Amino acid sequence: MKLRFIGLICVVLVVMIVSCQNDGQVEFNRYYSNGNAVYQVHCQNCHGAKGEGLQGLIPPLTDSIYLKTNKKILACYIKSGLKGKIIIANKTFEGEMPADDLSPLEIAQVLTYVTNSFGNKIGTVTIEQVNADLAKCN
């Protein structure tokens, strides 16, 4: 009897974990595909369809280490723009990225797209994370 109860709990747990994962995957897919659309409209002209950037003018979005290290401030960069020297993939860039008044949801979507495309694999960036990050922008 006890054994069957434990077994049942185990099954329930497994089902919960699996469905959670599925929910996570569904959430990721939703963020990612919407992010692709946002990217095409707001980012692709400069950063390119493959995130390749443009020579020494516009940095590529393929530097996974930079994206990972700066994960918590990327939302601010999109929202308020980015100016001054940055080093991407061992190359110095010093142009200016204009601010883009995207909604927190759009920022989360496009960040999910960028940080999981072009050879990057950082996982879902949720609207909750973006809201928290935006609250700390300078």
Three-state SS for 51-91 is CCCECCCECCCCCHHHHHHCHHHHHHHHHHCEECCEEECCE
For the segment 3-42, give every residue that binds another protein (CB under 8 A): none
Q: Which is nearer to another protein, 55 or 138 (CB)?
A: 55
The gap from C-alpha 42 to its chain's centroid, in whole angstroms, comes to: 15
Whole-number minimum distance, CB 90 to another protein, in Å? 16
Structural contact between residues 67 and 115, judged by C-beta atoms closer than 8 angstroms: yes
Q: Which is nearer to another protein, 86 or 127 (CB)?
A: 86
- The site string for another protein over 53-72 (x = CB under 8 A, - otherwise) reads -xxxxx--------------
The gap from C-alpha 64 to its chain's centroid, in whole angstroms, comes to: 11
For the segment 97-136, give every residue that binds another protein (CB under 8 A): 98
Positions that interact with another protein (CB under 8 A): 45-46, 48, 54-58, 95-96, 98
